[in-house]
Amino acid sequence: MSAPTLRPPAPAVPSRSVPAPLRPSGLTWTVLRLHRAALLAWVAALLVAGAVLTWMYVIAPDAGVAGGPCAIPPVDGLPDCATVDAMTTDDLYDAGLDLIATALSYLMVPVAAWAGAALIGRELEDGTAQLAWTQSVTPVRWLATKLAVPAVLLTAGTAAVVLLHVGVRRDGNGNLLGPWYDSDIYLSIGPTAAAYGLAGLALGALAGLVLRKALPAAGAAFAVTLALSHLMQALRPSLWPTTTITGRTALDLPPDVLVLEHGVVTSDGRRIGNDLACVGSETQAQLRACMKNSRLSDFWATVHPESHFWPLQLVESGVLLAVAGAAAAASFTLLRRRTA
């Protein structure tokens, strides 16, 4: 009987642990996940805006024809008026650009309502914010992330739509675009669009911290931002020094000039505002006769030419960013006092 052969045990092969898949973590990811519905709505809105503006860019040449001159019968390259009258491309073009301009100009209001209700107010009302503060997240860091994440997304998305909107308008028909000083157009082709959004975000957060309930905070933020929008619209002409035009030029101002006041100078040197005397004079002889009969010596107009667009935009953006900064500072001060 043979003895069993003894073999030394095989050396143990060290087991290789499978690394766990990397998953996003941290407070930033928590904010994005908690408010994913708002994030998806924002992305969807940006995609819709991009699609509309791309379509407006495509139909811009046809819109120019539909809203341009015509002839009966067609001559010198002008299309037939019956064909032009049957076209509706210019109406679609106007409606598309107006939709984007209006949405950008009133972006601050829904942003403020969302910030007051969902971003801050609901978490304070439900106690989820207080629970986070008992963990490793300080109240200041919690609020800073709550404001920083949507601020970055809001600024980037708004800037992209504004740039695309400006590009579409630049390649469009000037007769269809409207004046630069129209409120909706003005707010949708410059940095004020993003500044209004940031002001709405900060004011909404402050309303949420003050009221600590979702619905009251949303209502208060909505009302405050709407009032701010109307206030800035009223103050806008005074944000930059105006230009005064005198002489015959004051009677025949180009359409790209924002006229604030129009008046005349009497023979005794008095200035009378908002007097449209002699405006309809077509010839120099008619103008001189009208001035003599009306006892006028000159005409004047107080205006903002198109060259004032960027100064007005930058000053208004600065005011709005100051409002946003003040609201954010007040929010942090209030939070520190309540959690001290």
- Over the chain (340 residues), the average pLDDT of each successive run of 10 is 52 50 65 89 95 89 66 62 59 86 92 92 87 85 93 95 90 71 92 96 95 93 95 95 87 87 82 74 76 80 93 97 96 90
Q: CA of 198: how far to CAs of 115, 202, 291, in Å?
A: 11, 6, 52
Regarding whether 293 and 201 lie in a shared domain, the answer is no
Residue 244 in any domain: the answer is: no
Task: Please give the radius of gyration of the chain, using alpha carbons only, rounded to the nearest integer.
Answer: 31
Contact 165, 100 (CB under 8 A): yes
Q: Domain of residue 272: give its range.
A: 258-304
Q: How many residues does the chain have?
A: 340
Strands (DSSP E) contained in the chain are 243-246, 258-266, 271-273, 296-304
- pLDDT of 288 reads 78
Regarding whether 181 and 129 lie in a shared domain, the answer is yes
Regarding whether 162 and 120 lie in a shared domain, the answer is yes
- pLDDT of 314 reads 97
Q: CA of 3: how far to CAs of 7, 10, 139, 154, in Å?
A: 12, 21, 76, 82
- pLDDT of 262 reads 84
Helices H / strands E in the chain, number of each: 14, 4
Regarding whether 192 and 272 lie in a shared domain, the answer is no
Q: CA of 74: how far to CAs of 24, 27, 67, 82, 284, in Å?
A: 65, 67, 15, 10, 35
Q: Which of 89, 103, 222 is nearest to 161 (CA)?
A: 103
Regarding whether 296 and 318 lie in a shared domain, the answer is no
- pLDDT of 19 reads 47
Regarding whether 164 and 56 lie in a shared domain, the answer is yes
Regarding whether 287 and 167 lie in a shared domain, the answer is no
Contact 192, 314 (CB under 8 A): no
- pLDDT of 208 reads 94
How far apart are alpha carbons 297 and 288 in whole angstroms? 10
How far apart are alpha carbons 194 and 190 in whole angstroms? 8
| The model's pTM | 0.83
How far apart are alpha carbons 90 and 81 in whole angstroms? 14
The interaxial angle of helices 139-170 and 192-211, nearest 10 deg, is 150
Burial of 283: CB neighbours in 10 Å, binned 0-12, 13-18, 19+ = exposed
Which residue carries 């001035």 as its tokens? 291
- pLDDT of 174 reads 59
- pLDDT of 54 reads 92
Regarding whether 265 and 189 lie in a shared domain, the answer is no
Residue 83 in any domain: the answer is: yes
Count: domains in the chain: 2
Tokens coding 268 = 């005794």
- pLDDT of 144 reads 94
Q: Which of 301, 192, 188 is nearest to 236 (CA)?
A: 192
- pLDDT of 83 reads 57
- pLDDT of 276 reads 72
- Number of Cβ within 10 Å of residue 152's Cβ equals 11
Supply the DSSP symbol for 238: G
- pLDDT of 225 reads 95
Residue 1 in any domain: the answer is: no
